[in-house]
Amino acid sequence: MKKMAIFLAAALALYLGVKQYLKHTVVPPFAAFEHPMTTLEEQQVNINDSQSEYYLVSYFQTWCGDCVRELPSIVELSRKVPASKLAIFMISDEPIDKISLFKVRFNAELNFYQSATSLKELGVQVYPTTYLVDRKGRILMSKLEGYDWASEEVVKLVNR
């Protein structure tokens, strides 16, 4: 009986450990097409409003160090690729005033939005969680905890 209890406890611990590991290493399904956002000017928009061929969608938090480190590469990508090819959506669920201060603080010439749905409800557990998708919503790339989005690989992918 004691061995069975130890086995069950070990199995439960393993299950919970694997579940926690996957929660923080697997990119959640992309859900931005179904959820409206609010601009910093408090206008409701949807990702489908953009006519670009591709979308870079980064779910971030203003307190996130990896988000701050990733931001310059996203700004650089926005300079390398025309807006007709790529629309960039920086999305947080924090209050608009916090997002605005973040944008000003890091002098980011990007479009920032407040999600109407909490990022946790969207399955986002790790920041930043960033996707490169096409107009049909097919994920071309997705990364957790930051990436060099201005890399030659990404620029070639978007400019093809």
Instruction: Assign 30 to helix, strand or coil.
Output: coil
* Type of residue numbered 4: M
Q: Which two tokens stand for residue 55?
A: 């979308």
User: What is the DSSP secondary structure assignment for residue 61, as one 8-state letter?
Assistant: -
Instruction: Assign 141 to helix, strand or coil.
Output: strand
Instruction: Assign 76 to helix, strand or coil.
Output: helix
Q: Is residue 26 part of a domain?
A: no
pLDDT at site 10: 52
12 φ/ψ angles, rounded to the nearest 5 degrees: -65, -45
Q: Is residue 103 part of a domain?
A: yes
> How many domains does one find in the chain?
1
Instruction: Give the pLDDT band (50/70/90) at residue 35.
Output: confident
Q: Is residue 4 part of a domain?
A: no
What are the pLDDT digits (tens) for 42-97?
Answer: 999 888 888 889 999 999 999 999 999 999 999 999 999 998 899 999 999 999 99
CATH of the domain at 45: 3.40.30.10
Is 9's pLDDT higher than 90?
no
